[in-house]
């Protein structure tokens, strides 16, 4: 009888230890998942900051005489496309949805880069304090975007590694912890886009 009680005590003890390990692992997954969502909010914040800067930038640039209207139209349309991509406040679990979001943001980045290239051909525009201030803010925002995207990917990596590690790998899926997608790695993404200026060109007529 005594041996039976000892055996039961050992089994119960092992069960308690396993429950504690699983509980600690589960809590860690919750914390990591919330960390990814928090970093996703930061990514959205910096993209929103750029989104909000564009109307003032377009208004300032459009005041320049003979400025290329097609360039302004491209930026305006790219901004509108970004606004059409609906995404939740929590980090996306669907890689296709994140890819759609990233594609629209990349198109906007390209349109803005081209606008700044064209703007350099207008000395009177470059001389205005309003344009210079907006340009600095935009460049700073591009830097922040690169930093926050990288930090987001690091958070996702920690989370994805955790759900595939022991003991979480046995129950993570059951509790709804699924792998999260990354932003696509782009060469040079750690730095803001660089604009090459050609001062030999004269303003378009």
Helix H, strand E, coil C: the string for 55-94 is HHHHHHHHCCCCCCHHHHHHHHHHHHHHHHCCCCCCCCCC
Q: What is the pLDDT of residues 98-140, one digit of tens each?
A: 999 999 999 999 999 999 888 888 888 888 888 999 999 999 9
30 is a domain residue: yes
74 is a domain residue: yes
**pLDDT, position 197:** 31
Residue 106's domain spans which residues?
Answer: 2-170
Q: Looking at residue 20, which CATH number applies to its domain?
A: 1.20.1440.20
171's tokens: 């129950």
- Residue ranges of alpha helices (H) inside the chain are 2-62, 69-84, 95-119, 123-126, 129-163
7's tokens: 């055996």
**pLDDT, position 204:** 40
User: Distance between CA 197 and CA 121 in Å, rounded?
Assistant: 8
195 is a domain residue: no
Whether the predicted model's global pTM rises above the 0.75 cut = yes
183 is a domain residue: no
Mean pLDDT by 10 residues, the chain (205 residues): 72 70 81 96 96 93 80 93 89 92 94 90 85 92 96 96 91 92 64 37 38
**pLDDT, position 185:** 62
How many separate domains does the chain show? Answer: 1
Q: Provide the phi-psi class of 66: left if phi over 0, else alpha when psi is between -120 and 50, else beta.
A: left
């Amino acid at each position: 009888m005594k041996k039976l009680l000892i055996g039961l005590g050992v089994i119960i003890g092992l069960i308690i230890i396993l429950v504690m390990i699983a509980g600690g692992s589960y809590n860690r997954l919750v914390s990591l998942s919330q960390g990814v969502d928090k970093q996703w909010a930061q990514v959205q914040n910096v993209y929103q900051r750029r989104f909000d800067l564009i109307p003032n930038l377009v208004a300032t640039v459009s005041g320049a005489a003979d400025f290329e209207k097609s360039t302004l139209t491209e930026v305006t349309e790219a901004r509108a496309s970004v606004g059409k991509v609906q995404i939740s406040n929590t980090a996306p679990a669907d890689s296709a949805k994140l890819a759609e979001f990233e594609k629209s943001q990349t198109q906007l980045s390209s349109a803005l880069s081209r606008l700044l290239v064209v703007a350099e051909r207008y000395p009177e525009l470059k001389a205005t304090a309003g344009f210079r201030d907006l340009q600095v803010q935009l460049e700073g925002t591009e830097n922040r975007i690169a930093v926050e995207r990288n930090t987001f990917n690091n958070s996702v990596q920690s989370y994805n590694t955790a759900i595939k590690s022991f003991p979480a790998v046995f129950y993570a899926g059951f509790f709804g912890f699924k792998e999260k997608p990354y932003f696509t790695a782009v060469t040079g993404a750690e730095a803001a886009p660089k604009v090459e200026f050609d001062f030999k060109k004269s303003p378009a007529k």
